[in-house]
Chain A
Amino acid sequence: MCGGPGFQRSRLVRFFALALPIFLSQGAAAQLQAPPVTTDRPFGGKLVLTGGVTQVEGVAGGGLTPWALIGGYGTRDQVGGNGYYTHVRSQDFHLQSYGAMLGLYDRVEISVAQQRFDTEDVGAALGLGKGFTFRQDIVGLKVKVAGDAVLEQDQLLPQIAVGAQYKRNNREAVVKSLGATHDDGVDFYASATKLFLAESVLVNATVRLTKANQLGILGFGGDRSTSYKPMLEGSAALLLSRNWAVGAEYRSKPNNLKIAREQDWWDAFLVWAPTKNLSVTAAYVDLGNIVIRDNQRAAYISLQFGF
């Protein structure tokens, strides 16, 4: 029985049963393997901090300035979103800003925000009443049109996005009495953002067409000018680690109202993003003249929660 054909066949079968997997694994050595099951997730595929934080008008960016990044951590196959709360306190005023945004397929960003500007004692001095508050609602839309700020490290082309912010102020009578021509308006902007990863530096430049007086909190257009003006905004950040960045921003502003002398803003900021779900931004902001008070310097704190 030992030398019979049945034994021969079973040896042959055993040989192939052993050899075939070895042969296949040798083939696989040069080639990664397609997984049998896909594990694609709907959220959270970007690298930490590459969705930016939320700027004061509710758009993904720095603190003052929109960036070309689409907010949230959704890749081009995913969606992302954020909620934020920002508090800015100067010597004579405070501003609260809060809202939410949705990032769709790393292409489109939709945002809603509300700002409450509390005039504190200045309200009383202006005859509006102590703690008189302006409220402004903002709806934003941003579309990425070119580039990838993070991955295209061998190209100079930045990520470019265009956006619009519709803003509506709830104090029509007051802003018109201050000289503004409208209680609502639309800002249009284009942003270019580039991460120079080998240098650990991120740079952004934004051009904004706007009629807004102090973001729109004091209305739109004015007795000095009613036309759209191009304003330049810039940001530069140094990445300190995966979770920390420091930087500075500048935002030029129009000067449409005779009663005030609206000035450009700048800030210095520190961002901490311990996870993709939370970031904390602290900043020092130089606001210049606000209404009737000069040299307003503010502490800025912003919390962002999202995915």
Chain B
Amino acid sequence: MSNSRIPFVTGRRRVLLAAILVSLGKIFPVRAATPVLDDFGGVPGLTAMMEDFDANLMADDRTRPFFENVDRKRVKAKLVEQFCALLGGDCVYRGGNMKGIHRGLGITREDFNALIEALQDAMDKHDVPFRSQNKLLALLAPMHRDIVEK
């Protein structure tokens, strides 16, 4: 005997159950699982890490020329959005597309790798576990096709 309705859950009982479920949802919010983003300390962690990433990019003469004359505050903000979105966080990347942003810059494989190293150093400094670092890098690495021109 199959019955699509749950026994005893009718009328006022159903309203009560719904109310309980709604309040449980408020107490224990069900969110998309973001364990990797958590390893970065969430958006605040990414924001803090970006300061060191920026400093590392400025300290390396392979990457500094590409960033020293741009609005780095904006770049950092866009990178936080992008990384957060890539890591499954509740963010939307609203920056330019990778190919358009990097067009005509003559970025080489070495320049691209130098940026990865600068990011690795920043992630190390912020104690992001190595395996979580690699999960982010695995999502960024294919972007070489839009970024590297030489």
Contact = CB atoms under 8 A, between A and B. Distances in A.
A76 B110 CA distance: 9
Q: Is the interface of B mostly helix, strand, loop or mixed?
A: helix
B16 to A, nearest CB: 45
Contacts of A293: none
Contacts of A30: 74, 96, 101
B35 interface: no
Q: Is the interface of A mostly helix, strand, loop or mixed?
A: loop
A76 B135 CA distance: 25
Contact of B66 (A26, A33, A199, A240): A33
Contact of A198 (B75, B110, B135): B135
Given A45-B113, A239-B130, A28 B144 contact: no
Please classify how large the interface on chain A is, using the bins under 10, 10 to 19, 20 to 34, 35 or more: 35 or more
Interface in B21-44: none
B109 A77 contact: yes
B88 interface: no
Contacts of A9: none
B117 A47 contact: yes
Contacts of B144: 151
A28 B69 contact: yes
A197 B134 contact: yes
A173 interface: no
Contacts of B116: 47
Interface of A: 25-26, 28-41, 44-47, 75-78, 106, 150-155, 197-200, 239-242
Q: Which 9 A-B pairs have the closest CB atoms?
A: A45-B110, A35-B65, A29-B71, A75-B109, A198-B138, A197-B138, A153-B138, A154-B142, A153-B141
